[in-house]
Homo-oligomer: A and B are copies of this chain.
Amino acid sequence: MSDIEIAQQAKMRPIIELAGEKFGIPAEHLDPYGHFKAKLSLEYLNSLHDKKDGKLILVTAISPTPAGEGKTTTTVGLGDALNRIGKKTIICLREPSLGPCFGVKGGAAGGGYAQVVPMEDINLHFTGDFHAIGVAHNLLSALIDNHINHGNPLDIDPRRIQWKRVVDMNDRALRKIVVGMGGAANGYLREDGFDIVVASEVMAILCLATSRADLKERLGRIVIGYKSDKVTPVYARDLNAHGAMAAVLKDAIKPNLVQTLENNLAIIHGGPFANIAHGCNTVTATKTALKLADYAVTEAGFGADLGAEKFIDIKCRMAGLTPSAVVLVATVRALKFHGGVAKDELNQENLAALEKGFANLERHLSNIQNHYGLPCVVSINHFTFDTDAEIQLLKSKCEALSAKCVIAKHWAHGGAGAEELANAVLDIVDHREPEFSFVYDSELPLWNKIEAIATKLYGAANVSASPKVMSEIKALQASYGHFPICMAKTQMSFSTNPNSKGAPSGHTVEISEVRLANGAGFIVAIAGDMMTMPGLPKVPAAERIDISDDGVISGLF
């Protein structure tokens, strides 16, 4: 059965009933969106202020390959397993973006018997959060050009506007455009472009905001560009945009509750795309889970070099969170791919390739243990083609690095298939105090922060940038030197070359662009050729998506 077919057979429970029964959440604090999705009021979260936090478990992965790893699936499976063995657990996931849903990837709500439901809703629109983010972002964009059109009293330099527009679609034609064509009635001609919604600073702001007041304050301090003196920033608040932007986000700021196939509570809230964004779910969602449950299992996007790094250095730093353990997800297939095996030969045993590809896992594991200071369990998402010899090799190699390696079968068996993983995780979080650390100190200059990430985590020999980018970083250092870095880098490799598999070393990380995200409170450093607007493949997934006359959706996967 396909994922969507399994999901459609789920016996879902009314979410308000479930949330009340399992966690005592009063119905008046829940806004239903249909019968199986609900938003939780911020007031309820505030009422839990004095409650002790549960333990935070981060699920991350090796560098992704076309073979598939299953990070979301593992997060769901681990959560279900912890609940099965009597541990009060909530999982926190990130909302899928429509772009990849229509593109290559398909849905993003787990897989097999480890899914969150209602799967179609979660993948299509969900509770409208990303639409609200898009509107808030594009309202600011429209206000900028409108301001210039009506005489530009703020003296915005139209050549130095850095606030683009967004759409929740993979649409390469919009990456770089000219706006304002067609004569005087349409304003002034200038270069512009669209990013995908998840790359919007508004997404990062929503994810990091701790209250409505903080949200509005952050929106107000967005720097949209500079005045004609080239140096004076223009803020969103100068355009009186932040009040309306915050109003547009009035519901988006509330965490969304859904359930797993096994009727355990899941919170899905905030941003994916850890390659170009910070790629973590919202601070609000994580804090809610920590207050409600004894264990909160959350994921960070792509490999541990991207999602986990930003989870640690941006989200945990800003929100004062301390993870207790990390689960590093891998598959035998993906490791063989990192070892050089072609995609259609991954089902054959190949110990040499597995040993070679293990270098990718080893680097991630070492980063987690040594640079984040966190204990780690390696979870191997089981495929039927995995051989005993391969699994034994993997286990012994992990143990040599003092990490337990567990074979997890939640994809086929749901929570029951991940009980060993759950127990391995509990062994750590219930008995070890993490000696958690950041990869770099806040006081380090921006350039050195970038170097720290690249040399410590990516295995790079050095970082380079054009004189133009260097001088931009220097200019940002004066006012924003204390900000963390949000790296935008391919998820496919430790280097900036997506084809460089395994654990490349000694390479140079070229910073091609930097962007100030003053509302989010970080500096985006774009490494290599990263695009903040994806394109669609030759045969987009959208061509397979369909709906029957009686409303049953197919082709989401």
Note all chain B residues with C-beta closer than 8 A to A549.
211-213
User: Which of B176, B178, B247 sits near A545, CB closer than 8 Å?
Assistant: B247
Given contacts A125-B131, A250-B120, contact A173 B142 (CB under 8 A): yes
Q: What's the nearest-Cβ distance from chain B to residue A78, in Å?
A: 31
**Which residue of B is nearest A27, CB measured?**
B35
Note all chain B residues with C-beta closer than 8 A to A291.
none
Q: What's the nearest-Cβ distance from chain B to residue A245, in Å?
A: 9
CB distance B540 to A146 under 8 Å? yes
Within 8 A of B (CB), among A128-150: 128, 131-132, 134-135, 138-139, 141-143, 145-146, 149-150
Q: Is A186 an interface residue (CB 8 A)?
A: yes
Q: Is A233 an interface residue (CB 8 A)?
A: no
Q: Report Cα–Cα, A445/B224, bound state, in Å.
A: 52
Q: Report Cα–Cα, A175/B179, bound state, in Å.
A: 8
User: Which of B192, B248, B550 sits near A212, CB closer than 8 Å?
Assistant: B550
CB distance A125 to B120 under 8 Å? no
Q: What's the nearest-Cβ distance from chain B to residue A470, in Å?
A: 23
Within 8 A of B (CB), among A229-253: 239-241, 243-244, 246-248, 250-251
Q: Is A25 an interface residue (CB 8 A)?
A: no
CB distance B175 to A186 under 8 Å? yes
Note all chain B residues with C-beta closer than 8 A to A342.
none
Q: Is A44 an interface residue (CB 8 A)?
A: no
Q: Report Cα–Cα, A547/B211, bound state, in Å.
A: 12
Q: Is A102 an interface residue (CB 8 A)?
A: yes
**Which residue of B is nearest A179, CB measured?**
B173
Q: Report Cα–Cα, A550/B241, bound state, in Å.
A: 19
Note all chain B residues with C-beta closer than 8 A to A434.
none
Task: Identify 4 new A-B residue pairs, CB closer than 8 A, beyond the known A31-B35, A139-B169.
Answer: A143-B540, A146-B536, A173-B187, A243-B545
9 A-B pairs with C-beta separation under 8 A? A31-B35, A120-B250, A142-B170, A165-B167, A173-B192, A178-B178, A187-B535, A212-B550, A243-B545
Q: Which residues of A contact B (CB under 8 A)?
A: 31-35, 42-43, 98, 102, 120, 124-125, 128, 131-132, 134-135, 138-139, 141-143, 145-146, 149-150, 165, 167-182, 185-188, 191-192, 211-213, 216, 239-241, 243-244, 246-248, 250-251, 531, 535-536, 538, 540, 542-551, 553, 555-556
